[in-house]
Amino acid sequence: MNEGNGPMRVAALQMVSTPEVAENLEQAGSLLADAKRKGAELALLPEYFCILGQRDRDKVAVAEADGAGPIQDFLSSRARELGIWIIGGTLPLRTDDPARVYNSSLVFDPAGRRIARYDKVHLFRFETATERYDESRTLIAGGRTVTFDAPCGRIGLSVCYDLRFPELYRALGDCALIVVPSAFTATTGAAHWEILLRARAIENQCYVLAAAQGGTHRNGRSTYGDSILIDPWGRVIDRLATGPGVVIGDVDPAVIAEVRAGLPAHSHRRF
């Protein structure tokens, strides 16, 4: 593992996003400033931080071209102004299909330069008597894993429903931190959210940082919340149940090394 130079303070920003992009950027800007005041060197925004519309197709209407647009400009300028790494949860980026977009996570360094893009690979589908979701109607799936190097070591990107597919996290390689911007439903979150996040931390013996949508949105949807930071032993460092706010703590390469030395499961893998 690229162990980096030492501990790095990271923050997960929980939001209750609305159908209005401008409102959401204002809320995100306030939370980013709060995270900076609390010492964060890296901040993770949730899935759909910039829009959670009245209808699924609303995100298609505000989709941006890759590399240009007000949402991307916001992320770049805030990273530069605050001098922190920002992982822009997800935002819609255009595809060749006018009816569908990529659900993309963008990473900006403290100079405001974009250094990574990850398009959500696994598209959520869920149906009960009272709920129905099918992301494939408005999204095109990505096709590759993405990591980047930060002061604490390698960071692996994933989004929400990806959390249910452990093979994706193995494919990321040896990471110090895995991030999971999400908008879990209240139903699936109550059943599986914490279990899955702690499992990914324990089996990969690394930190997991999850930034969630957390509350009741104007479109009537309820998201689970519980933004959280988990260490390589599966211990919860910090969490926030519902509502906007900041979850914060340190990613410490020394803790990763200690856990892997005491229980070398990561090096015992055979397949």
Strand partners of residue 134: 125
Q: Reply yes or no on whether 206 is catalytic.
A: no
Per the residue annotation, which of 50, 59, 64, 120 is the catalytic one? Answer: 120
Q: Reply yes or no on whether 47 is catalytic.
A: yes
Q: Reply yes or no on whether 120 is catalytic.
A: yes
Fill in the DSSP letter of residue 13. E
Per the residue annotation, which of 47, 59, 152, 175 is the catalytic one? Answer: 47
Listed residue (14, 73, 71, 20) closest to 43, CA to CA: 14
Report the Cα 192 to chain-centroid distance in Å: 17
Listed residue (124, 89, 128) closest to 105, CA to CA: 89
Joined together, the tokens standing for residue 211 give 């930034």
Number of H helices, E strands in the chain: 6, 16
Q: How many other C-beta atoms lie within 10 A of the C-beta of residue 167?
A: 6
SS (H, E, C) 45-114: CCCCCCCCCCCCCHHHHCCEECCECHHHHHHHHHHHHHCCEEEEEEEEEECCCCCCEEEEEEEECCCCCE
Listed residue (114, 23, 118) closest to 68, CA to CA: 114
- Rounded to the nearest 5°, which phi and psi values hold at 118? -125, 125
Per the residue annotation, which of 152, 160, 175, 206 is the catalytic one? Answer: 160
Give the active site residues. Answer: 47, 120, 160
